[in-house]
Amino acid sequence: MRSDMTGGYPLARPRRLRRTPALRALVAETSLRPRDLVLPLFVKEGIAEPQPVSSMPGVGQHTRDSLRKAAAGAADAGVGGLIVFGVPAAKDGRGSAADDPAGISQLALADLRAEVGDACVIMADLCLCEYTDHGHCGVLTEGGEVANDATVERYAAIAVAQAAAGADMVAPSGMMDGQVAAIRKALDAAGRADVGICAYSAKYASAFYGPFREAAEGAPAFGDRASHQADPANAAEALREVALDIDEGADMVMVKPALAYLDIIQTVADSVTVPVAAYQVSGEFAMVEAAAARGWLDRDRVIMETLTAIRRAGAGVILSYWAAEVARWLRGGV
């Protein structure tokens, strides 16, 4: 007979703590707060009405006006932050609109600041893929490769423009080498030592970004992003990227996607002291919405389960297209 058994029955009964909702709530190890969530928002230049994104039901490209309304709703629900993606009307080889003070993302950042004040953190995605006519995350060499150092120079200029427009944090997502250091230097030189950097450090070359590329109109016209984004086969590579980014001045690091990379979130969270963010990306959103629309999954429970799993793995901050809706659930609203 084992020492914890008596008469063939166990003495330790974990089920005792699961008996009622109150007991389960008391001993829950992981919880989610509205403030942990960041809502990604798309804003498109030159549209009169918000445009739906077919692969992301419920998510759309906003006009400047509808963006303000969505932001106000999210702030009201208590989300911790907003992250903005601008979609310009005109694109070119160097992504000129990205750092234009009158470019859509700068106008949108200023709108958001005016709308929500300091109620939540305003973040700016910092990349070129939405702004270049070829859809790559940087400027190209004659051979059609993404040129690292020339791209990093563009990122530095974009960071300064986004800071001037009102971003609390810039979030470089292009995975160029040295991008965080160059951005930090440029922000400091512009007198914006106060603006933080949330680095997409462990950003994988993932097929889960498919729907986003429709929303942000940033699919590469040729080739892919495998030469700069991390290889899904690797974990040590992510840790190396995270360490470099922190060394270069990142205030926060991000793992992306989230659900297929919970091991990476956990390892990163265990190895750094800066806040760790995770991005529940467009494909993760689309999978659940598509299955739920067929009645194959219980949508709301799956959403909470995935978000809880991402928190449990160690992400302090979660970017999610469900952020505002979940924030409302958490506050007991509808």
- Residues within the interface to ligand PBG (CB under 6 A): 125, 127, 129, 173, 209, 212-213, 218, 225, 281-282
Closer residue to ligand PBG (CB): 178 or 210: 210
Smallest separation (angstroms) from ligand PBG to the CB of 255: 12
CB nearer ligand PBG, residue 82 or residue 127: 127
Report CA-CA distances (Å) from 188 to 73, 183, 204. Answer: 33, 8, 29
Q: Shortest distance, CB of residue 124 to ligand PBG, whole angstroms?
A: 11
Task: State yes or no: is 69 an active-site residue.
Answer: no
Nearer of residues 125 and 248 to ligand PBG, judged by Cβ = 125
Toward ligand PBG, which CB reaches closer, 28 or 254?
254
User: Catalytic residue at 203?
Assistant: yes
Paired tokens of 188:
């400091």
Task: Tell me the residue type at 208.
Answer: F
Closest approach of ligand PBG to the CB of residue 173, in Å: 4
Query: Contact at 8 Å (CB) between 184 and 251?
Result: no
Single out the residue of 44, 42, 144 nearest to residue 90, CA to CA: 44
Distances (CA, A) of 228 to 19, 215, 253, 268: 49, 22, 17, 20
Q: How far is the CB of 248 from ligand PBG (least distance, A)?
A: 19
CA angle 36, 240, 83 (to 5 degrees): 30
Q: Which of 69, 91, 185, 256 is catalytic?
A: 256
| 36 sits in which H/E element | none
| 8 A C-beta contact, residue 261 and residue 202 | yes
- Please say whether the dihedral angle defined by the alpha carbons of residues 325, 329, 331 and 334, taken in this order, is positive or negative: positive
Of 76 and 153, which CB lies nearer to ligand PBG in the complex structure?
Answer: 153
Residue 113 CB partners (closer than 8 Å, separation 6+): 122, 165, 166
Nearest approach, Cβ of residue 39 and ligand PBG (Å)? 12
Minimum Å gap between C-beta 284 and ligand PBG is 8
How many other CB atoms sit within 10 Å of the CB of residue 255?
A: 31
- What element of type H or E holds 245? helix 236-247
Pick 106 or 173: Cβ nearer ligand PBG:
173
Please give the structure tokens belonging to residue 108.
């949108």
Helix or strand (DSSP H, E) at 129? none
Minimum distance from residue 37 beta carbon to ligand PBG (Å): 14
Residues 6 or more apart whose Cβ sits within 8 Å of residue 83: 38, 39, 40, 41, 123, 124, 125, 171, 319
Of residues 214 and 300, the one with the C-beta less far from ligand PBG: 214
Residues identified as active-site: 203, 256
